[in-house]
Amino acid sequence: MSWKDYMPGRMKFVGCQGSVLTAILAAFVGASMEKKLRKIMPNALDLIMTPFLVMLGTFLVVMLGIGPIMHVVELKLVTVVEHLVHLPFGISGFLIGATYPLLVITGLHHTYTMIETSLLANTGFNPVITLCAMYGFANVGTCLAFFVKSKNQGVRSTSIGAMLSQLFGISEPVLFGIQLRYNLRPLLIMLFTSGLGAALLSVLGIQSNSYGLAVLPSYLMYIYKGSQLLWYFIISVCSVACCFVLTCLFGIPKEVLEEDGEEAAFGKIMQKTMPEITSPATGTLVPLNEVGDEIFANKVLGDGFAIDITEGRILAPVDGTVAAAFDTGHAVGIRTEDGREILVHIGINTVELGGQGFCLLVEQGQTVKRGDLMVEVDMDYVKGKGKDLTTMVLFTSGEHVAVKDYRRVTAGEGLDLIVQPA
C-alpha cells in the first residue's frame, strides 16, 4: 500500500462487519471510555455529550485500528481451521469437536460460517459441521445425567428444559445453566465426548452437503447417502450414551444430589441479606408498586422500595462513591465497591422545582459512608408546592429487592432486605 492509498477517496476499508472479536474489543473500549468520561464530564453535559463522545471515539478506534487488525486475526483463524480439517487419524475431528463448544461460549463459532461456505463452494461437501454437531449430542447426555441423578426438582426441571432446547440446536441453556455452573467438570466431560465422536466421524469420512443444522434436524444433512446417515446416527447415539455415563460417574456435584430444600443450589437465584443497607430517611416503608408514579411503580428505573418520609434529612444508605449528584438536589446516585448502583430519589416530580427547597451537600465523585448527610429538604416548602415527598430507593443495576417488613424506620437504621442478583 502506497501513500496514495491514504489520500481522500483512496482509503481502503476492511470489511469487519460481523466480526465477533471486533465487537468484543469495541465493547471493552466503549465501556472504558464511558467510565473515564463520567468522572470528568459536568452533570449538565453528561447526558448528551458522554454517549456522543463514546460512540465517536469507539467508531474511530474500530475503523482505524481494531477492525482491520481483528479482520486479519480472524482470517488467520479460518486458515488454521481449514488445515485442521485435513489432519489424519481423526486428530482433526477431535480437535474441532472438543474446541467448538468453547467458541460457542465466546461467540466465535460464527467464524466457521466462512470456512463451511468455502468448503461447500470448492468441494461440494462440508465436513466441519459434522464434527461440530457432536457437541450437541454430548449436551443431551449431560442433561439426561443431571435429570436421572438429581434429587432436586429444580435441577430436573432445568435439565429437561435445556435438553428440549438442545435437541433443536439451542445449546446456551445447557452450556451456561449446567456445564459452566459446577466447577467445569460437566463441561470438560462434554468436550472430551464431543471430540471423541467427532474423531470417529473424521476417520470414517462422514460429511454433509449443507450447513447450519444441529442435533435432531442434523440428520437431514445426510439423506443423500444411506451409509453416511447410518454411521452418523450410530456415532451420535454413542456420543449421547458416553457423555451420559461419564457425567453420572464423574460430573455430578454433591449439591445437585441433595434433596429439595431452602438451600437448593440449582434452579434458584442465590439470595442474600444485605444488612449494610440503612434507611436514608425517617418515615414508613412503602412497597414500590404503591408509589403514585407509574415510572417508579412499574420499576422502570429499577426495583427497590419507598419511604413516606417525615423528616427532611436524607442520608447515604450505603458506603460508596457518588456517581450522580443532580444540581436540583432531588436525587443522588451511589455506586458501591461491588458494583451495585443505588439511586435515592426524593419525591415525585420534584425536579420541576429547579432545586428550590433542596440543599445538596455532596458532589459527584465524592466518597460517602452510611449515615452521611447528603441532602436537606425544606418539607414545608416542597409540600406547599403540591409535591409528594415519598422517597424512592432504587437498585438501578438490575437487582430484585424484597423488603421483609414494611414498618416505620428512622434515618440510619439497618434494613432487612433480600436482594437477588440481576
* Same domain assignment for residues 130 and 167: yes
* Same domain assignment for residues 71 and 120: no
CATH of the domain at 396: 2.70.70.10
Q: Does residue 289 have a pLDDT over 70?
A: yes
* Same domain assignment for residues 395 and 289: yes
Pairing of strands 320-325, 388-395: unpaired
Catalytic residue among 83, 109, 345, 400: 345
* Same domain assignment for residues 108 and 37: no
Domain boundary among 84, 115, 150: 84
* Same domain assignment for residues 123 and 218: yes
Pairing of strands 283-286, 331-335: unpaired
Does some domain include residue 367?
yes
Q: How far apart are CA 145 and CA 178, in angstroms?
A: 11
Does some domain include residue 220?
yes
* Same domain assignment for residues 232 and 339: no
* Same domain assignment for residues 102 and 215: yes
Query: Mean pLDDT across the stretch 203-217?
Result: 81
Q: Does residue 9 have a pLDDT over 70?
A: no
The DSSP call for residue 247 is I
Model confidence at 390, pLDDT cuts 50, 70, 90, reads very high
* Same domain assignment for residues 323 and 397: yes
pLDDT of residue 261: 46
* Same domain assignment for residues 117 and 222: yes
Share of the chain above pLDDT 70, in %: 85
Q: Does residue 258 have a pLDDT over 80?
A: no
Domain count within the chain: 3
CA terminus-to-terminus distance, the chain: 49
* Same domain assignment for residues 37 and 128: no
- Write out the residue range of the structural domain in which residue 117 sits: 86-257
Query: Mean pLDDT across the stretch 66-89?
Result: 73
Predicted confidence (pLDDT) per residue in 307-355, tens digit: 999 999 999 999 999 999 999 999 999 999 888 899 999 999 999 999 9
What are 1's three cell numbers? 500500500
Model confidence at 409, pLDDT cuts 50, 70, 90, reads very high
CA dist 377 → 273, 321, 358, 360, 414 (Å):
30, 21, 5, 9, 22
Q: Does residue 143 have a pLDDT over 80?
A: yes
| Higher-pLDDT residue of 2, 379 | 379
Q: How far apart are CA 420 and CA 340, in angstroms?
A: 12
Domain boundary among 59, 84, 109: 84
Residue 143 near residue 163, CB atoms below 8 Å: yes
* Same domain assignment for residues 216 and 360: no
* Same domain assignment for residues 290 and 413: yes
Q: Is 345 designated active site?
A: yes
